[in-house]
Each structure stands twice: as C-alpha cells, then as structure tokens.
Amino acid sequence: MLSVTEAAATILDLVLLPTEAEQVSLDAALGRILAQPIPSPLDFPHWDNSAMDGYAVRYADVQGASAEQPQSLTVVETIPAGRSPTRPVGPGQAARILTGSMLPAGADTVVMQEVTQREGDRVIVLEAPTTQQFVRHRGSYCRAGDPLMAAGQLIGGPELAVLASAQCLQVPVFPQPRVAILSTGDELVGPGTPLQPGQIVDSNQYALAALVRQAGAIAVPLGIVPDQPQALRAAIQTALTQADAIVSSGGVSVGDYDYVDEILVELGATLHIRAVAVKPGKPLTVATFPIANGSAPLYFGLPGNPVSALVTFWRFVAPALRKRSGQGTDWGPMVVPAVTSHDLKAGGQRETYLWGRLAMTAAGHRFELAGGGHNSGNLINLAGTNALAVVPVGTKLIPAGETAQVMVVG
C-alpha cells in the first residue's frame, strides 16, 4: 500500500494540465477557470474621484483651518456622481462633491461634510484635512495594460465583478473535463426501484456526480454495471469515448466479483495505484490509458462502500479534477487545525478520516464528530458533513480538547 501522501502525489503527477481555451459569455463564466491572463483595458479608478461626501478644495486654501480659525470658501458647483465637473476650482473656491464623483480640475483634496457648515453659496471649513485626503487617484488600483487577473483563477462573484468592470464580455476559460461515472455491482438498483432482499440503492452515482460538478467538471453518469466482465469491459470502453476521466465505485477489492483491475489491464491501461493506507478507502485503483488525441484518460476505481467512495473522492479525485480543470496550483485539500470536541480514535496502521462538522468559534476552529457509527457503510451520519478529522498513521487517539488536522470538504 502507498501512503496517502505518496498516492496523492502520484495522482497529481499523472494529471495533464489543459492547454486549450474556449470563449464563454460573461454571464456563463461563473465557476469556470480563466485560461489566459486578462490585462486591464482601463485605469481603475477611471478618473480622480471622491471617497467621501463633502467638498473638493485646494489644500493650500484649507491647510490652516480649525474651529477657532475657520476657512470660508465659495461653492461654485455641485458635482453629482456620474457627471463631469463643468468648471475648475480656483483659489478660495470649493465644489460640492459626492462619493464617487469626479474631482474637478484645480482641486486636490476632499473635506468631508461633517467638518463643515454650509451658509448659502459658501462653505465654512472647521478642520484642516491632510493633503489629498479622500481622493481616489486615477489608476491607483490598476493601470491600463497591467495584469488584471491571472490564468488559473477560479471565477466567482468577485471575479465576475472585476471582469464586468473591465467590460470583458467574452471570457477565455479552460474547457471543463468530462467525467464518466459508473457504479458496479449486481446488488445495486436505482432509487425508483422497489427493493428486493439483498439489494442496495445506488447512492454513489448521485453523490459522485454532485462532487464532480462541485470540483468544476462535467458529470456524465453512465448508470449501474453488473458484476460481469463483458459488461464492465463494454461500459469502460463506452466511457473512454465520452470522457476525459472515469470514476467507478465498487469492484476494486479482492472479492470473487471484483473485475475492475483485470479489465483495465486487458484494455491496455497502466495501473499506478491499487491500494492506499487510508481508512476508509484502502482499495483504490488509479490507472491511465494510452494517450489518444493528445489526452491521457484517467481511471479512478473507488471502493463501493458509500463513505469510502466519498472520502477517497474528496482526498484523491477532487484535487486531480481541480488540476485537470486548470485551476491555479493549489489543488490539494484545505487542511486547518481545529480543537476536537470528541475523542478521535483510530487503529494506527492507516491514516484515518473521521467525518463531522467544522465551525469557527471565538477561540478558533472546532470540530464536532458526527454521531453514530463511523464505518464505511454508514452513509446516514455523513449528512451535514463539511470536514474530515485526520488521525495520522501511528496515532490511535486524539483526545477531546486537543488539536487535530481537519480537511475541509464542504
């Protein structure tokens, strides 16, 4: 068995970064990965403007103002946001200005209205500002031609705001990888099928499809495959024509009906991983097929038990899909220290993942272990999980109140 660290590194080494790009509209770019750097077409801010409601003035006119020695200025115009000033500010003059309004020529400072008094067409300044106070200077955030956003950036709400501000209506993004999903096992039936004795509902197909989408890829669910070599071979061959990666669950252990590994070898795949020292999820197959059309399809054979399938996806498959999608360089899971509210127990021979809830408190992160049994077949208490506490190899107990490393999955 490989260690978790070795397996994770091996998988990422097998993943090819995307090289092609496609254009999508701005309103379709959410959740996509930027394929090319975006230079700024504009200065940000576009012009000198006010950061405060108040008066645009010449600093030289008000630098000595105080409550004891107020400075009186003539207000020559009001400048609403969105309109250009119509005249410059000269000596002894001021312009009424609002937040975001353009600074008029001649003015170099904004006095906020709270330290002024208005008397007709004059304003009384009762406190001296600092020079250039409350002025946002043109290009101080970003200049035209400067990098606005780097390739590999995941596009979320803030990124959409930046692209919209830059009037970037077409966005270059990486194509989303297509991931075929197979569930193997004679015992499996769909959720709409009445259960017969010995049968199990195929929950993995739905969970893995959701996790594939959350990782930024396109899920291609291909349904249930019976424990028959010929059927499995045909299903994998079909998946290879439709997807950049294949994720199957079940059939990768050492049982009489576990055919995945031998079928992969028959189809010309190279097996890189067959087992990992992790709990849950020891049986894990990772394989590559010969490169065709410039791509090397990846195969992930996950355990069939629902919790094992999800844990191995979170730990090993999701980082691979993030890399394959072109997302930056930070592909691995986010791990944070957290105080555990419960004893975390493990056997010590394998790196163990225990599921539960991570929350932020006034004292820092705290981890609450999910109630009920922690075994690979108990899917029920996985609901609500947003984190996995990690018990390292050689450790059998992390007592309540101690700090554990916790992997964020939600």
The domain segmentation of the chain, as residue ranges, is 4-19+175-324, 22-44+140-173, 49-136, 334-408
CA distance 375 to 352: 11
pLDDT at 257: 62
Q: Report yes or no: 78 and 96 within 8 Å, Cβ to Cβ.
A: yes
pLDDT at 131: 97
CA distance 40 to 60: 35
110-to-47, 119, 125 alpha-carbon distances in Å:
15, 18, 11
Q: What is the CA radius of gyration of the chain?
A: 30
Tens-level pLDDT at each residue, the chain (410 residues): 899 999 999 999 999 899 999 999 999 999 999 999 999 999 999 999 999 999 999 999 999 999 999 999 999 999 999 999 999 999 999 999 999 999 999 999 999 999 999 999 999 999 999 999 999 999 999 999 999 999 999 999 999 999 999 999 999 999 999 999 999 999 999 999 999 999 999 999 999 999 999 999 999 999 999 999 999 999 999 999 999 999 999 988 766 667 899 999 999 999 999 999 999 999 999 999 986 555 678 999 999 999 999 999 999 999 999 999 999 888 999 999 999 999 999 999 999 999 999 999 999 999 999 998 888 888 899 999 999 999 999 999 999 999 999 999 97
The CATH number for 4-19+175-324, chosen from 1.10.940.10, 3.40.50.10140, 1.10.3720.10, 3.40.980.10, is 3.40.980.10
Q: Which fold has domain 49-136?
A: Molybdopterin biosynthesis moeA protein; domain 3 (2.170.190)
Q: Length of the chain, please?
A: 410
For residue range 172-213, list pLDDT tens digits in order.
999 999 999 999 999 999 999 999 999 999 999 999 999 999
For residue range 270-318, list pLDDT tens digits in order.
999 999 999 999 999 999 998 655 567 899 999 999 999 999 999 999 9
The highest-level CATH class for domain 22-44+140-173 is: alpha beta
Direct distance between the N- and C-terminal alpha carbons of the chain, in angstroms, rounded to an integer = 28
The DSSP code sequence of 206-275 is: HHHHHHHHHTT-EEEEEEEE-S-HHHHHHHHHHHHHH-SEEEEES--SSSTT--HHHHHHHTTPEEEEEE
* Domain 334-408 part of CATH 2.40.340.10: yes
Q: Residue 406: is it exposed, middle or buried by C-beta count within 10 angstroms (0-12/13-18/19+)? A: buried
